[in-house]
Amino acid sequence: MTLFIVGGAGYIGSHMVKLAHLAGHKVITLDNLSTGHRDAVLYGAFEYCDIQDANRLNELFKKYTPDAVMHFSAYSLVGESMSDPYKYYNNNTVGTLNLLKAMIDNDCKNFIFSSTAAVFGNPEYIPIDEKHPKNPINPYGKSKLMIEQMLEDFDSAYGLKYVVFRYFNAAGHDESGELTERHDPETHLLPLIMQTVRGEREAISIYGNDYDTKDGTCVRDYIHVNDLSRVHLQGVEYLMSGDVDSKVYNLGNGEGFSVKEIIEKVKEITGKDFKVIEDERRAGDPDTLIASSQRAKDELGFKPEVDRVEDIIKTLV
Ligand SMILES: NC(=O)c1ccc[n+]([C@@H]2O[C@H](COP(=O)([O-])OP(=O)(O)OC[C@H]3O[C@@H](n4cnc5c(N)ncnc54)[C@H](O)[C@@H]3O)[C@@H](O)[C@H]2O)c1
């Protein structure tokens, strides 16, 4: 298959590029390098492209005639989305609309989309399955839910087929050590802890210790980035298998770990002690987010290979 990997210079996209290439696909990364890194694209072609640029997108669709598009590009800082919602609706929602238009105009009708647990808002029950009500509580989650809604209409009207994957917390690195997570600013727990372990930051902050959880700190579900990438390949193979329906899947490991538990596990695995600061809660953090990925298991054969959180952490050490 010829695959466009939009956002392939980012954390998850760069892992996807590697896996898709090793699976024998022709891979082309489209990225504007706003948060990604050119040197993270280790395989296939790289084309500088901002998805806001319709002419450039058309030129690239004509040049490569891809069978499918995997769309990872987005801004994804929840706090920033609250203070600058325009940036999120413009880059995420309008940008994706533009990308979808280029797909339809160029008769490419297979789409894999990176959505997020943030479309659900505060959970009404745990684990969160695909039927859970969607009430996003920040512009980031809303910008992604709008795309999910647009996709339903693009399927009915233009026959665009899609698989939406809603990730919970992507974590870990490729075992080779060739690829890493390099967000700036970094907001994800595990890379922040690892920066503290390496002495690049003085301490790790815990935001809130009075949540309704076992030890008062937030509980999250971590999924290894290569397990995510593998199920994306299963998703694209499903779409290419013929006359199929569009699908939506939640992706996690189905197990929750508190911030304190993760910190303790990193201390245990690395044998290093480091400073931990108990700070105020941040706005918009739900107590607990745990996915049910039963549908992806039953329908796509999703089978995580790095499913123990200790093993996810070990890929970072
Ligand atoms: N990391 C997570 O835990 C997580 C969880 C849920 C959902 N997601 C979603 O997964 C996707 C990838 O996340 P990530 O952590 O790899 O992010 P990332 O910031 O590392 O990667 C995003 C990539 O998209 C590119 N990009 C952004 N705007 C663009 C534009 N207008 N045109 C072209 N390229 C553009 C960036 O340069 C970057 O390379 C995002 O859509 C994010 O919302 C991530």
DSSP string of 178-203, one letter each residue: S-----SS---HHHHHHHHHTTSSSE
Q: Do 2-171+222-251 and 189-220+253-314 come out as alike in CATH topology?
A: no
**33 close to ligand 1 (CB < 6 Angstrom):** yes
For residues 259-283, average pLDDT? 95
**Residue to probe by mutation, ligand 1, list 12, 33, 98, 316, most atoms within 8 Å of CB:** 12
**Per-residue confidence (pLDDT) for residue 187, from 0 to 100:** 87
Residue 284 scores a pLDDT above 80: no
Which one is catalytic: 140, 162, 211, 249?
140
**Ligand 1, atom 4: closest residue by C-alpha:** 170
**Per-residue confidence (pLDDT) for residue 183, from 0 to 100:** 86
**Per-residue confidence (pLDDT) for residue 99, from 0 to 100:** 98
Q: What fold is seen in the domain 189-220+253-314?
A: UDP-galactose 4-epimerase; domain 1 (3.90.25)
* Nearest Cα residue to 57 out of 94, 132, 6: 6
Give the residue extent of every domain in the chain.
2-171+222-251, 189-220+253-314
162 noted as active-site residue: no
Superfamily of domain 2-171+222-251 in CATH is NAD(P)-binding Rossmann-like Domain (3.40.50.720)
Band of residue 298 on the pLDDT scale cut at 50, 70, 90: very high
**Per-residue confidence (pLDDT) for residue 67, from 0 to 100:** 98
**Per-residue confidence (pLDDT) for residue 131, from 0 to 100:** 98
Lowest mean pLDDT: which of 81-85, 157-161, 181-185, 257-261?
181-185
Structure tokens at 249: 């899947």
Mean pLDDT of the chain: 96
Band of residue 283 on the pLDDT scale cut at 50, 70, 90: confident
Per-residue model confidence as pLDDT tens digits over 93-108 = 999 999 999 999 999 9
**Ligand 1, atom 20: closest residue by C-alpha:** 10
Per-residue model confidence as pLDDT tens digits over 128-146 = 999 999 999 999 999 999 9
Per-residue model confidence as pLDDT tens digits over 40-58 = 999 999 999 999 999 999 9
**Per-residue confidence (pLDDT) for residue 253, from 0 to 100:** 95
Band of residue 186 on the pLDDT scale cut at 50, 70, 90: confident
For residues 198-220, average pLDDT? 95
Structure tokens at 177: 């050590």
String of DSSP letters for 80-132: HHHH-HHHHIIIIIIHHHHHHHHHHHTT--EEEEEEEGGGT-S-SSSSB-TTS
Structure tokens at 7: 């956002």
Residue 89 scores a pLDDT above 90: yes
Minimum-distance ligand 1 atom for the alpha carbon of 171: 3
Per-residue model confidence as pLDDT tens digits over 242-264 = 899 999 999 999 999 999 999 99
SS (H, E, C) 146-172: HHHHHHHHHHHHHCCEEEEEEECEEEC
Strands 257-258 and 219-220: antiparallel
Question: Torsion angle, CA of 234/136/82/215, rounded to 10 degrees?
Answer: -90
Chain position carrying tokens 């647990």:
117
